[in-house]
Structure 1
Amino acid sequence: MFLFTLTRLVYLGVVLVVMSILVFLITQAMPGDVAHLIAGQFASKEVVEAISIKLGLDQPLIVQYGRWAAGILHGDLGRSLTLEQAIAPIVIEALIRSLVLAVSALFIVAVLGIGLGVLAAVRRGKLSDQMVSGISYIGIAVPDFFWAILLILVFGSYLQLLPTGGYAPISDGFLAWAKHLILPVITLVLMMLARVARLTRSSMIDVLQTNYVKYARAKGMPERVVIFRHALKNALLPTITVLAINFGWILGGVVVIETVFSYPGLGRLLLFAIQRHDLPLIQATILLVSTAYCLANLVADLLYAFVNPKIRHSMSNN
């Protein structure tokens, strides 16, 4: 397991280096001149050139990348052109807020989604299976913003039980903090629950038809032991992948949800930076989201190896 983990960490380092290069090159190719943006549209050419020299924008790209990468290794993500302050505290604060959403939603989705998927697979063709399948179809077909608007109308406008948007720091009280999280978390759960439940059901049905499960039943093992100890461990492999991908997606890809609920997370911060062409903030945010995706996949690989030792041995040999 140690060798397997070490190999995956080396791969992770290589991927992050490549991702940092791609992020830097892509953001450099974006339309617009940072120096001109800072100086203003009526600034003279001399002023723009002076700002470019001050920021080092006149130097070759490899020199600019080296300086940027060196700063990241020392924990310096640069300064925001729009907010005129250090980027690191901004992105860390937004990351923590998005992590709260991601961890809360994924925990609920993992428990409910896997539970419903197992229930539907075990009772295949019965009423409970049909109900889970019907709910899954609805969940996949309905777009995410619809759930958000529906929840706002029902619980915010009509019942007036929960705030319809914004964010309250935990210093304002746990109850106020939790109330602002409920609707975004429920929306994320509704978006992901259907896919996890259907995938778990499909994978579980395939595993229940394998020979080793039939052999376990033939030996007279209790049904719960057959399902949870023998079948579920192997059926969870594709579900782990989906949960890991969804974790990275939540951190940087739920711009719609964070915008609808005015939630100041990482996705909304990225949208803010793009709208204002804040190049250092764009670079830092995208790199952080990419790192989150890579770490989520690393966790998925480690869970694969923990659940199925055959995968650990085969990957270590490669």
Structure 2
Amino acid sequence: MGWILRRIAISLLLIWVVSSIVFLAIHLVPGDPAEVLLSLGGSAPDADSVAALRAQLGLDQPILTQYLHSLSHFVVGDLGDSLSDGTPVMSEALRRLPRTLELIGAAALISTAAGVPAGVAAAVNRGGPLGRCFSALSGLALSTPVFVVGSLLVMIFAQWLRLAPAGGYVAFGEDPLRHLLLLSMPAATIALGLWAQIFRMTRSSLLDVLQRDFIRTARAKGLREHAVIMRHALRNALAPILTVLALNVGSLLGGTVLVEYIFNWPGLSGALVEAVNNRDYPMVVGCIVIISTLFVSLNLLVDIAYGLLDPRVRAR
């Protein structure tokens, strides 16, 4: 139990460090949010109006005072109110977060469903044309940025073939089919890079397992090759595959920013982009704190699971 408490304490420390760095970095960025808010109408604000709004929002206080005030509210789950419309940051983030998690979950499902069979096929046909083809595709997928993939998908499937909408959002309860169509392209954009990583890990892990003695024993007993691969080899190769999947799903929480922006998907990352453009300090800090908390929590769960499975981890 002691090592679990240590992991939890380290995770809480990481969340505090990240939130502190983000808070200080945001306040060092040039630009006055009061001026930005008063300039939304297209006219330049006067100095008195800017000063009054800064005092109303508490931006005239020293940075340390603002930091301590924000930190005291963070502890009780209050991330403040948006400077743009006064909406509580926590409620807005919780409203958008399920959409981001749905996008990440769909991408993880697609990449796993495609990556594991491709990795198995490449390992079984090592050196063959199929394995070489998948390896080349994975290299291309890893080297292509998500905004390029997203733009290509929009151009091909939305503009040329007209098989799917270019972007937007409809709730699943309102129109299930259109919701899935709108989800398909952003999820596929994210899934491509994750597919390449899962494919490579599946291939390398399975190749390693296939060289072990118990695989030779299973083959010597006369088991069919399909049973040897699926029942014995793949089962023992799953641990590193699940690790790659878990860690990369956590990193996707921050990697959906461009994808949500390209496809106009109203998730948490999209709110982060809007908040940065509007100099909305509380919303920026709140979104990043929630994303980092989820990422750290996922890594904590992976560490705890490893510790429960492997006593050597608990001894470190």
Task: Give the whole-Å Cα distance in 1 for the aligned partners of 2:99 and 2:67.
Answer: 29
Match of 2:17, as an amino acid? V
User: What is the CA distance between 1:101 and its match in structure 2?
Assistant: 0.5
**Structure 1 residues 214, 304: closer, same or farther in 2, change over 3 A?**
farther
- Pick from 30, 42, 46 the counterpart of residue 43 of structure 1: 46
> 1:296: which partner in 2?
298
TM-score, L = length of structure 2: 0.85
Match of 2:148 among 146, 151, 161: 146
- Residues in 2 aligned to 1:218 and 1:304: alpha-carbon distance in whole angstroms: 33
Normalized against structure 1, the TM-score is what?
Answer: 0.84
Offset, 1:74:
2.6
The 1:297–1:223 alpha-carbon spacing in structure 2 relative to 1, beyond 3 Å, is farther
Displacement of 1:47 after TM fit?
4.7
Aligned to 2:108, the other structure's residue is in SS state helix
Distance in structure 2 (CA, Å) of the matches to 1:155 and 1:291: 35
Contact 1:36-1:48 within 8 A present in 2 as well? yes
Larger deviation: 104-113 or 60-69?
60-69
The 8 Å contact of residues 82 and 282 in structure 2, kept in 1 or not, is answered as yes
Query: CA separation in 1, counterparts of 2:125 and 2:305?
Result: 27
1:24 and 2:23 correspond? yes
Query: 1:121: which partner in 2?
Result: 123
Indicate which of 302, 312, 315 corresponds to 2:313: 315
Deviation at 1:39, TM superposition (A): 5.2
> Aligned runs of 1:124-203 on 2, under 5 Å?
124-203=126-205
Q: Quick one: which amino acid aligns to residue 265 of structure 1? A: G
Q: In the alignment, what sits opposite 2:14?
A: 15
Q: Provide the C-alpha distance between the structure 2 equivalents of 1:135 and 1:258, rounded to a whole number of angstroms.
A: 24
Q: Which shows bigger deviation, 133-142 or 101-110?
A: 133-142
1:186, distance to aligned residue in structure 2 (A): 1.9
Give yes or no for contact 2:35–2:45 (8 Å, CA) kept in 1.
no
* SS state at 1:166 partner: coil
What corresponds to 1:34 in structure 2? 33
CA distance 1:233–1:129, change in 2 (3 Å): same
Q: How many residues align?
A: 312
Give the unaligned 5+ runs of structure 2.
none
Whole-angstrom CA distance in 2 between matches of 1:259 and 1:213: 48
SS in 1 for 2:103: helix
Question: Residue type of the partner of 2:57?
Answer: L
Given that residues 91 and 266 in structure 1 are in contact (C-alpha distance below 8 angstroms), is that contact kept between their aligned partners in structure 2? yes
RMSD: 2.8
Match of 1:77 in 2: 79
Aligned partner of residue 171 in structure 1, secondary structure: coil
Alignment correspondent of 1:261? 263
Query: Cα distance, 1:81 vs. partner?
Result: 1.3
The percentage of aligned residue pairs carrying the same residue is 36
Moved more, 117-126 or 102-111: 117-126
SS of alignment partner, residue 287 of structure 2: helix
Secondary structure at the aligned position of 1:269 is classed as helix
Change over 3 Å in CA distance of 1:66–1:226 after alignment to 2: farther
Give the superposition deviation at 1:99: 0.6
